[in-house]
Every structure is written in structure tokens, then in C-alpha cells.
């Protein structure tokens, strides 16, 4: 599969996952509406989830930079970082994003911001020190591709939906402790009630798994798009290999922003017998799979 076909495939799979998200949301809403016979709790949950995530979307760049203790990057101090982003932004037809750095030896980078005009690219000092210029171009092309592909918007939708499901399930469980629910349901539909309760309890886990799956697909898409931008997949493949080999957890990391980075900011456990389970709950696909997709597409 060439890079163009891989990019198209990833777009289709990502939107299929978002559709799965919507199915989970509708199913949870229906189950709770049936259980209580009152949509008021549903309205409250929707309002809280939307209000929280709309604020997070508009202030995403400030929140993420603050959480990761990033500082502005100047052209004088980080010349290669600055000039590579300038050149790639021109090639991609994007406004030059604001540049920030994190003083951390772990090699990593991320992009954030609500749109192309309000975008930020941030790299760790460890990444800037470790990469050759072609490797740095690969990493930064990946981050600019997140901006170009509107991944920030898509991931915000995923966060809204996952937050909605989690909040609704939490309200349901709290109210249930006080004997909520319709009496007619309790008397005549015991099996359906049990199924509804189990489904609502498990829904946040399902929503989180879908959110993580969306994040992993967007990483593959950004890899493919970044390789198209530089016309040199080997640069990004080499950079990812270095990042994976270093496997250094960042000094400060948050699960709230982990999906934004080019690789897991917590490091990856080595030689685990439960690798399949760890990958299921990971925000990023395994480095080896990403490198194979990049280099295999050249064949």
C-alpha cells in the first residue's frame, strides 16, 4: 500500500471509529432514558460535557503548554527548529505556527491549537539535541500534518463524546445508589434492567477504547502525511526508531495530553507478556508498526 492509499484508508477508519462513538453515546442515552423514564439527567450530562470540552477546545493551546511547562522557542536559540518549521509550513501551505520547547531529555514533540491560524508546535530539548536535520524534518512534518489534517478538531470531538459517556454513567451510578429508576421497570423487566446497568457501567470503558483507537489511527495518518510532505519517509522512520530506542519517560506528563505527543510520554514497558493489552490502552501504535508502514510503503 503506497502513502496515498494509506492516508485514504486511515481517514476512512477514523471516521468509522467516530461513528462507533456515536453508536455508544446513543445506546447509553437510550438505556438511561428507558431506566429512569426522565431525560433530565441526560440533558444535564450533555450540558456539562459540552461546556467543559468547548472551553478546553478554545483554550487548548494555553492549557496544554501550561500542563507541560513549555516556553517560547526563539530563532537564535533553536535555529534548526525554527527554520525547518518555516520551510515545511511554506511547503504545506500553512501559516507558521508558534514554536515552544520543553526542557526535558526525553525525545518528544506535539502540535496543538484549535485551527491552522492558532496552531502551536512544541518539541523537547532532548528531541532537538538527538535528531539529525532530516530526522527533525520528519518529526516536524508529522506535527504539521496533525494541524493540516484538523486532528485537533477530530480529537476534541472524541474527547467530548468520551466525556459525555463518562459523566452520564457516573450520574446514573450515583442516582442508582439512592434507589432511582422506574417502578414498572423494576417489577417487569429485571433482565433488561440488569443488561442496561451493565451496559452503562461498561460504556465509559468502550468510549475510552474508541477514543484511543481514534488517536492511534490519527498517528498513522500523520506519519503518512508527514512522509508525503518531506518526500523522505526514511527521515521520520529513523526519528521514530531513535525515539523508541531511547524510551525515556518525560519528567512531567499527563494522561490528558498524552495523545498529542508523537509517542507515549510515559515510556513503554519492555518485554511485557501483556503487550497486546498495553497496546489496546495505548494512545499510540507501536513504533515498529509505524516504521514498517513508512518503509513498506516505499516498496
Q: Which of the residues 137, 143, 219, 264 is marked catalytic?
A: 143
**3-state SS, one letter per residue, for 34-63:** HHHCCCHHHHHHHHHHHHHHHHHHHCHHHH
Task: Give the residue among 80, 204, 226 at the shortest CA–CA distance from 147.
Answer: 226
Grid cell listed for 221:
495518518
Cβ pair 148, 116 in contact under 8 A = yes
Grid cell listed for 288:
515498529
Cβ pair 53, 167 in contact under 8 A = no
Using alpha carbons, list the distances in angstroms from residue 236 to 95, 135, 214, 227, 231: 22, 6, 21, 7, 10
Question: Is 143 one of the catalytic residues?
Answer: yes
DSSP string, 139-198: HHHHHHHHHHTTHHHHHHHHHHHHHHHHHHHHHHHHHHHTT-S-HHHHHH-HHHHHHHHH
Residues labelled as active-site residues = 143
Amino acid at each position: 500500500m503506497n502513502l496515498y492509499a494509506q492516508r485514504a484508508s486511515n481517514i476512512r477508519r477514523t471516521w468509522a471509529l467516530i461513528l462507533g462513538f456515536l453508536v455508544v453515546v446513543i445506546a447509553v442515552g437510550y438505556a438511561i432514558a428507558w431506566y429512569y423514564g426522565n431525560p433530565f439527567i441526560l440533558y444535564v450530562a450533555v450540558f456539562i460535557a459540552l461546556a467543559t470540552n468547548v472551553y478546553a477546545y478554545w483554550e487548548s493551546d494555553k492549557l496544554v503548554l501550561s500542563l507541560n511547562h513549555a516556553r517560547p522557542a526563539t530563532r537564535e536559540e533553536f535555529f534548526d527548529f525554527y527554520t525547518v518549521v518555516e520551510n515545511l509550513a511554506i511547503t504545506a501551505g500553512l501559516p507558521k505556527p508558534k514554536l515552544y520547547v520543553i526542557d526535558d531529555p526525553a525525545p518528544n514533540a506535539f502540535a496543538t491549537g484549535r485551527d491552522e491560524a492558532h496552531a502551536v508546535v512544541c518539541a523537547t530539548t532532548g528531541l532537538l539535541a538527538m535528531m539529525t536535520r532530516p530526522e527533525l524534518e520528519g518529526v516536524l512534518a508529522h506535527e504539521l500534518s496533525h494541524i493540516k489534517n484538523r486532528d485537533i478538531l477530530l480529537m476534541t470531538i472524541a474527547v467530548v463524546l468520551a466525556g459525555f459517556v463518562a459523566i452520564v454513567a457516573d450520574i446514573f451510578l450515583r442516582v442508582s445508589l439512592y434507589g432511582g429508576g422506574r417502578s414498572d421497570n423494576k417489577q417487569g423487566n429485571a433482565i433488561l434492567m440488569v443488561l442496561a446497568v451493565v451496559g452503562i457501567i461498561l460504556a465509559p470503558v468502550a468510549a475510552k477504547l474508541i477514543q484511543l483507537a481514534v488517536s492511534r489511527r490519527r498517528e498513522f495518518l500523520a506519519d503518512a502525511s508527514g512522509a508525503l510532505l518531506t518526500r523522505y519517509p526514511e527521515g521520520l522512520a529513523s526519528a521514530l526508531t531513535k525515539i523508541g530506542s531511547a524510551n525515556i519517560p518525560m519528567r512531567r506528563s499527563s494522561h490528558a495530553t498524552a495523545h498529542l505527543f508523537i509517542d507515549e510520554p510515559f515510556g513503554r514497558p519492555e518485554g511485557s507478556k501483556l503487550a497486546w493489552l498495553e497496546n489496546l490502552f495505548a494512545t499510540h501504535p507501536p513504533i515498529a508498526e509505524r516504521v514498517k508502514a513508512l518503509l513498506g510503503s516505499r516498496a
